[in-house]
Structure 1
Amino acid sequence: MIWKNVRKTSYHLYFGIVSILLLILFKADIRAQHSAVEFSPKLQKAYFEIQRLRINTARQLIDAERSAQNSNAFIPYLDNYADLHYLLISEDVNAYRQLSSQQDKRLELIGKLPDSSPYKRFFQAEIRMHWAFAKLKFGNEISGSWEIIKAYRLLEDNRKRFPQFLPTLKSLGLLHVLIGSIPDHYNWVTKVLGLKGNIKLGIKEIQAVANTQSLFQQEAELIDLLLHAYTLKLSAAQQSKIRAWPREQPDNLLIHFFATTVLMKEGNGEEAAHYLADAPSGPAYILFPFLHYLQGEIELQKGEYENASAEYILFQKQYRGFNYLKDSNLKLFMCKWLAGKDSDANVFINRIRTSGKTIVEGDQFAAAFADDFLNGKINNQQKILFKARYATDGGFLTKAADLTETVSEKSFNSLKEKAEYNYRKGRILQKSGRTEQAISYYERVMEFTDNSASGFSASAALQLGYIYFEKSENPKAKTYFKKAISFKNHEYKNSIDNKARAALTDLGE
């Protein structure tokens, strides 16, 4: 299905987008005159409690208002809001099966709003979008795809009926970006279904709300930030904003989570660790095992293998989901293998094969690594490459550079290893601000045409595109972005294609 690409996007973006969709409703004008859409003080507080990930407190507040406001469409929306946060964090399959039955009931309650209300189709679309992302996350791809199609049509209809109703514009803009990110060879399907995707238009629509002094401003800014962090590129102003929000909202666990993941993605592991350490905790907050996984990632990047191992084990003990199980077992393997404890490391290889699923790219990579390792395709010389990779990912560039200085391209035997060595050198130089030196290493990567090296070649082409884009050499940038998309059947294809396609959109392609 065409939405397989969306389903397999980064877990963080995946969770981030759904969370934003869940936040949209509250910011509808609290002075609304419709008797069936009431924003009472308790329900407003419930909204804020859900945003802080204090789900049980929010549910108590919602229940306290339910009997007195049983026709209030805001209540089934908040029920959905709370349930989806729980499902997306816990990945609780049993809860997903039980809560899925609530979708039709909530849509029915919302359907009682008059057609003259801009909230009716908007609420219906949002409920469908919430469940679309949940269904895609839990592997119900066909049903999730249809929910997005239905939501899109409802939002288009609402925009035509109520062109000044801001929530519609914001949500429709998000869908325009997501649909615009679908691979080119699926475009004919979206056209047949009447779905119009346009990354540039979608960003413009979202920013139109973000740039207004309205109640919708912060939500629109966060949607815009997440899309730039995981599909486009963050501006200096956006980077400042993500650092400021946790200080402005110290009791908001969701904001701390986003700040941590975005900064980690930007290669600022040390800084991300501070935001993670400052994240609020306690019995009032939902259990969030993924925070241990993030701490494990930072410790692994620093080369603190015992600390990293302890965090990954805590993650697995508390977690009841299915994503990042293969990946965390791979990381537990790495904590032993990279520390020279090869026999201890081997325990985790079979765990990679038998645990979790392969929805997210990290789990896909772990499964492929386990197969290669057990087939004798991974040798000890590659330890240097993995150490350099993790250090570079975390922004520990001096450590990464020192590691790569101990070897050369000739130190490796396979074309894939040679390609990776040059790619790692290029990334270290690029992140260190030495882009001219990085270019030659990236160009060298692309000389390795073996299929096994295609992931590194695609990544190198993407980075060359960014380098020439920043140098305003747009024809070269376009060439490399198109080249990045041209590589087939590698583990990073979805994310690289999305980023390259978004960059081409910025260049007018």
Structure 2
Amino acid sequence: MIVNCKKIVSLLLLLISSVTASANFSYNARCMEAYNAIFSLKLNEARALIREEKQQNPQNGITVLLDSYVDFFTVLTSDSKNEYEKLKARRSARIDALDGNDKSSPYYLFSQAEVYMQCGLLKGKFGDYMSSANDLKKARNMLRDNMKKYPDFLPSLKSIALIDVVFGALPSSMKSVASFLGMKGNIQTGVNQLEKLRLQIGNTKYSFFKDEVIFFLCYMDIDVLHNKDNYAKLSGYLADMDDKSLLRGYLQGYVASKTAHNDEAIKHLEKLPKGGPYTPLPAVNYLLGNAKLCRMDSDANVFLARYINEYKGMNFIKDSYLKLAYFYLLRGDEAKYQYYLKLVRARGYTVDEKDKQALKEANDSRPDVDLLKARLYFDGGYYAKALAELKDEKVNSFKIPRDKMEFYYRLGRVYERLNKQDEAVANYQKTINMGKGATYYYAANAALSIGSIYEKRRDNKRAASYYKQAIDMKNHEYEKSIEMQAEEGLDRVGK
């Protein structure tokens, strides 16, 4: 009887060990294909490949990670609150599933950290800041532990660098929360690490992560560092991505539009693949409508209206209605201008700064048409056309103080981009003198711009003085964004 018990125990131990051994993290060919499909925004194709892998290798923990990637990009492309809630609800089950997998794999801690990080990034996007910080803290701790155990596992560096940027980019009002949680970051350190990793990862077995590194680098450079002069560099990075990728084409258009290469933006966005295997991407219509408006194209309204009709999220609806109002104002259609102004007030949300600004503009005095044209031409990088709208104007020809300060501000912006820095500073200073107590963003952004000009001249004392002026101005449009950029400037000049 004792012998039989021993045999049973041995058999049970053998069965348990065989089940444990079957749990694994295998980034095999099918999983890599699913990952590549995700970064081409072929999410349904990715889902099918993940289902197939689960059927063939039900213990492969990489499928759990890939499911999280699919949900992450589903939320990013749709801005859907419902999809966001689904992702949050699935997080704990995914962590549990990964925690029960092969603890000896470098993907064990990494995959859990990725789930926490992806959820944390989206929580930040939807305003759940404390929970976002907690998730990102868990992710960073896991990634650091993973780096100690597996120092040659390069994917950990990607995510550590990204979290470093996120916490470095927090506005001062949020840094106290992060500090309470023991979380600090540095934007430039994180970006430098991503730049280094982009070169380092290409000739390794982790080279399939390169598109993800490029994706984050583009957004960091444009949305966090606010670089306007890196179009050629970022375009070179994007050239390395799959030329059939919707994400690559979108990023090409996004980078071009944000760096004032408007014609290139329109070219990239108009030739994007649509339908079929590709995930709907309403943001393309928003970008394209704005780019065409800056070029004064006659069909800009088509794409702005399409964005409003197809988009199911909360951002840029008011802004799109305002752009439609301006489209018709520039064409002298008073009835449609007034119609769309009413829709700015009645529809959409005020979560994003652009939508807050759109509502304020809709409730403000009618814009001066010449200043509006100069603004749009400037945003598209058509600096000569913008200057032509301004050069024959006289400040006293404008009837309200807002337009007078905007006139000087627009001149400063154009001269700065035309490398006429002294003229830029002179007009920015006039903007500050007129508008430092106003609720418009012109004066604060003018101070920020002068700070940047002096920083480039390595006059750190003057740069710091203007960055501090930008921070000291309160209760104006885009206050958080301008304050954050000024704080970053102060960090760079060491003041």
What TM-score does the superposition give when structure 2 sets the normalisation length?
0.88
Tell me what 1:22 maps to: none
Tell me what 1:240 maps to: 233
Q: Which runs of 5+ in 2 are unaligned?
A: 1-20
Q: Distance in 2 between matches of 1:156 and 1:493?
A: 35
SS of aligned partner of 2:194: helix
Match of residue 52, structure 1, among 27, 34, 40: 40
Contact kept in structure 2, 1:246 and 1:275, CA below 8 Å: no
Rate the CA distance shift 1:356–1:156 in 2: closer, same or farther, 3 A: farther
Tell me what 2:100 maps to: 112
Contact kept in structure 1, 2:26 and 2:62, CA below 8 Å: yes
Tell whether 2:194 aligns with 1:194: no
Shift, 1:186, TM fit: 4.0
Tell me what 1:401 maps to: 387
Match of residue 251, structure 2, among 238, 245, 258: 258
Q: Following superposition of structure 1 onto structure 2, how do residues 40-439 of structure 1 map, counting pairs within 5 Å? A: 40-214=28-202, 215=207, 216-232=209-225, 234=227, 239-243=232-236, 245-246=238-239, 249-304=242-297, 306-372=298-364, 378-379=365-366, 382-439=368-425
SS of aligned partner of 1:451: coil
Q: Distance in 1 between matches of 2:231 and 2:415?
A: 24
Contact kept in structure 1, 2:344 and 2:358, CA below 8 Å: yes
Count of aligned pairs between the two proteins: 470
Shift, 1:379, TM fit: 3.3
Tell me what 1:441 maps to: 427
Greater CA drift, 51-60 or 186-195: 186-195
The answer to which structure, 1 or 2, has the higher relative contact order (CA under 8 A, 6+ apart) is 1
Contact kept in structure 2, 1:416 and 1:453, CA below 8 Å: no
Tell me what 2:9 maps to: none
Letter in 1 for 2:366: N
Q: Distance in 1 between matches of 2:473 and 2:454?
A: 20
Shift, 1:490, TM fit: 2.1
Q: Distance in 2 between matches of 1:148 and 1:472?
A: 35
Q: Distance in 2 between matches of 1:243 and 1:170?
A: 20
Contact kept in structure 1, 2:25 and 2:102, CA below 8 Å: no
Shift, 1:420, TM fit: 1.2
Q: Following superposition of structure 1 onto structure 2, how do residues 456-467 of structure 1 map, counting pairs within 5 Å? A: 456-467=442-453
Letter in 1 for 2:143: L
Shift, 1:236, TM fit: 6.5
Contact kept in structure 1, 2:123 and 2:132, CA below 8 Å: yes
Rate the CA distance shift 1:188–1:94 in 2: closer, same or farther, 3 A: closer
Greater CA drift, 383-392 or 444-453: 444-453
Rate the CA distance shift 1:229–1:336 in 2: closer, same or farther, 3 A: same
Greater CA drift, 361-370 or 230-239: 230-239
Shift, 1:191, TM fit: 2.2
Q: Which runs of 5+ in 1 are unaligned?
A: 1-32, 373-377
What TM-score does the superposition give when structure 1 sets the normalisation length?
0.85
Contact kept in structure 1, 2:435 and 2:442, CA below 8 Å: no
Rate the CA distance shift 1:238–1:390 in 2: closer, same or farther, 3 A: closer
Shift, 1:212, TM fit: 1.8
Contact kept in structure 2, 1:250 and 1:280, CA below 8 Å: no
Q: Distance in 1 between matches of 2:53 and 2:145?
A: 31
SS of aligned partner of 1:101: helix
Rate the CA distance shift 1:259–1:175 in 2: closer, same or farther, 3 A: same
Contact kept in structure 2, 1:243 and 1:259, CA below 8 Å: no
Percentage of pairs with the same residue: 30
